[in-house]
Structure 1
Amino acid sequence: MRAAFLPGGSRVELREVPDPTPGHGQVLLATKASTICGSDLRAIYREHLGEGPEAYQGVVGGHEPAGQVIAVGSGVERIRVGDRVVVYHISGCGQCDECRRGYQISCTGAGRAAYGWQRDGGHADHLLAEERDLLVLPESLTYLDGAVVACGFGTAYEALCRVDVSGRDRVLITGLGPVGAAIGLLAKKMGSPLVVGTDPSPQRRALALALGAVDHAVAGSDEELDALLGDGAEVAVDASGNGRGQLTALRHTRRWGRAALVGEGGQLSVDVSEVLIHRQLTVHGSWVTSTGRMSELLVNLARWDLHPQVLVSDTFPLAEAARAYEVADAATGGKVGITWP
């Protein structure tokens, strides 16, 4: 089968590798969609600097896959051949407290391996997955919907659940890349009457507005946000992964408000007393999501008739994976996907 690897230096290598065979508890997928995440670009594609949970081990790239089951190994009970599935992109040890809670992203066991980072991911014609990592797609959702849920939409939904967003809350989003846009789309479905987004990129501001992810999109100056939000939003979520964006989110959260930080990276320097303590803020660090929460999200997306694939501005076949990464790295459009017929 064909597979794409990320050797660093802003390169993609296509190779022919053997087709995998499912073992006990494993499932073989025909990959149908595999989208590109900002963390793939930041920690693997450009400079290959990943370490810790982001340590890339030279495996097939891609941690946002969805596909159709074509074979199952012994001991597989829940998933069947023909099922359309999305892959929760971290395979945990299954035994630690985090795994038992469904948060394999935070697995503390030695067996933790993320698809596309430490084990083969979705940039290939076939993908070998553990049954426990698979969630069946509702009929109304496409494979591309599922791929976008696998990381980005799941991360957005988890953050909004952490801050308990509702119809009482105006929402501020700093960073209008794919995750930021997902936060806006979901916040509206969860009842928010006003969503304001900030991003230095005029293209991303325009795209977020066109998608209906935000009601207002501004560059992010204090004056602009004060005019739109007055004393601040009840809820703020940073998806920029940038210290300036993170501080903007906190400074423009209303007193007694709630904020979540989901954008990876950045260094944040903040006057804790002035910004956090004296204003009685609740701040959550939110890292991806759980299998339980992702399952809940899939049900809600079908109920809301919300299709995550609206975030995808460009798709390419696997043979053009290098071009797909170039477009994603330019960061001027929406999400980029690799798709199969």
Structure 2
Amino acid sequence: MGTAAGVTADRMRGVYLPGNRETVVRDDVPVPTPGPGQVLLRVGASTICGSDVRAIYREHLGTGPEGYNDVVAGHEPAGQVVAVGPGVQRLAVGSRVAVYHISGCGQCSECVKGYFISCTSPLRAAYGWQRDGGHADYLLAEENTCIELPDSLTFVDGACVACGFSTAYEALVRLGVSGRDSLLVTGLGPVGLAAGLLAKKLGADRVYGTDPAGERAALALELGAVDDVLSPDDLAGPGFRPVTAAVDCSGSAPGRRTALGALARWGRMAFVGEGGEISFDVSHDVIHRQITLIGSWVTSVGRMRELLERLDVWQLHPEVVVSDRFDLDQADTAYRLVDAGRSGKAALIPS
């Protein structure tokens, strides 16, 4: 590609995840050329998601269309447009964007609603899973998955919104969290931190959190994501006033049971954390208590755009949850840190 549009090489670095807790950094990945409706981004930041660790880094859990296809990893990218393909109408060289991490067919009922995550077509492809993702110097992206960043937000902010903060926001909006609510967040990893910070901006009266990792609990308090960190015993005790809403970000059966048990009658709960199972007495725990249970999977392009606009108004920077930053060549260290489950968010920032 020469030096056109700010691209200085025809090869780039890319991080791959072969499984078995390994990372491979290749430095001979071809820099792609944007086709119709596509843009080439110079990656400004690409954060690591818990799903990357759970379902790709440790072992390849998905199969078929949900499987990892030996592509450049990373589904939480943000960057700057350096080249545009034919038919690109909204973006131009220099545009700063966050990337919604699924490209869909654009035609099915889910895509029409903006929920590319739920696209029912074989054409559906997730960045970092079925198509090259953001753990690289450059990323080829569909224009319709790119949302421009307000000037007040950084690339690291945008990367945090690409999945984690948007996922938390979707759940809170679907729960209708407002100043009438007290909220419990189970699991204070990056998504749990996002849920607490956003709930505060939405007016939640009080936000409680719980997590077995003391480091994460301390970070949640330090960032102001929660007002109190309580143990499961505290939450089940006679002195605790049940909450009106809960978000489970733990993906664990104990975390989910804790959240469900802490709800008041007519309470609402969103399941966000992936994996695992839960069993409960449907009549006693849900029906007789008039509980509403919601499964919330990522978000829509429209709601992600809405969140970026609100973050600008709120002057909230998602990058506050990023505890560690690494160059691409340090991907192995970054993934080991995230796998330990005790830090905040980790970001890969190409040098």
What residue identity is the alignment partner of 1:258? Answer: R
Paired residue for 2:13? 2
Match for residue 333 of structure 2 among 302, 323, 333: 323
Paired residue for 2:4? none
What residue identity is the alignment partner of 1:85? Answer: V
C-alpha contact (below 8 Å) 2:78/2:156 kept by paired residues: yes
- Spell out the pairing of 1:256-267 with structure 2 (5 A cutoff): 256-267=266-277
Paired residue for 1:103? 115
Paired residue for 1:14? 25
How much does 1:191 deviate? 0.2
Match for residue 77 of structure 2 among 65, 77, 83: 65
- Spell out the pairing of 1:280-299 with structure 2 (5 A cutoff): 280-299=290-309
What residue identity is the alignment partner of 1:105? Answer: I
Could you give the per-residue CA deviations for residues 195-235 of structure 1, whole angstroms, max 9, x where no partner exists? Answer: 000111111111111110000112322x34546642x1011
Q: TM-score, normalised by structure 1?
A: 0.97
- Asked if 1:301 corresponds to 2:315, the answer is no
- Spell out the pairing of 1:1-341 with structure 2 (5 A cutoff): 1-15=12-26, 16-51=28-63, 54-221=66-233, 223-226=234-237, 229-230=240-241, 232-341=242-351
C-alpha contact (below 8 Å) 1:236/1:253 kept by paired residues: yes
CA distance in 2, matches of 1:281, 1:337: 37
CA distance in 2, matches of 1:209, 1:228: 21
C-alpha contact (below 8 Å) 2:186/2:211 kept by paired residues: yes
Q: TM-score, normalised by structure 2?
A: 0.95
1:53–1:156 Cα change, 3 Å: farther
C-alpha contact (below 8 Å) 1:61/1:122 kept by paired residues: yes
CA distance in 1, matches of 2:316, 2:237: 31
CA distance in 2, matches of 1:88, 1:306: 19
C-alpha contact (below 8 Å) 2:136/2:350 kept by paired residues: no
How much does 1:51 deviate? 3.0
What residue identity is the alignment partner of 1:179? Answer: V
CA distance in 2, matches of 1:301, 1:217: 25
SS in 2 for 1:17: strand
What residue identity is the alignment partner of 1:13? Answer: V
CA distance in 1, matches of 2:95, 2:312: 17
What residue identity is the alignment partner of 1:327? Answer: L
Tell me which moved more, 244-253 or 109-118: 244-253
CA distance in 1, matches of 2:65, 2:205: 37
Q: Which runs of 5+ in 2 are unaligned?
A: 1-11
What residue identity is the alignment partner of 1:19? Answer: V
1:225–1:214 Cα change, 3 Å: farther
C-alpha contact (below 8 Å) 1:200/1:220 kept by paired residues: no
SS in 2 for 1:275: helix
CA distance in 2, matches of 1:300, 1:99: 23
1:333–1:53 Cα change, 3 Å: farther
How much does 1:252 deviate? 1.0
What residue identity is the alignment partner of 1:18? Answer: P
CA distance in 2, matches of 1:272, 1:210: 37
SS in 1 for 2:73: coil
Could you give the per-residue CA deviations for residues 127-175 of structure 1, whole angstroms, max 9, x where no partner exists? Answer: 0000000000000000000000000000000000000000000000111
Could you give the per-residue CA deviations for residues 174-202 of structure 1, whole angstroms, max 9, x where no partner exists? Answer: 11110001000000000011100011111
SS in 1 for 2:232: coil
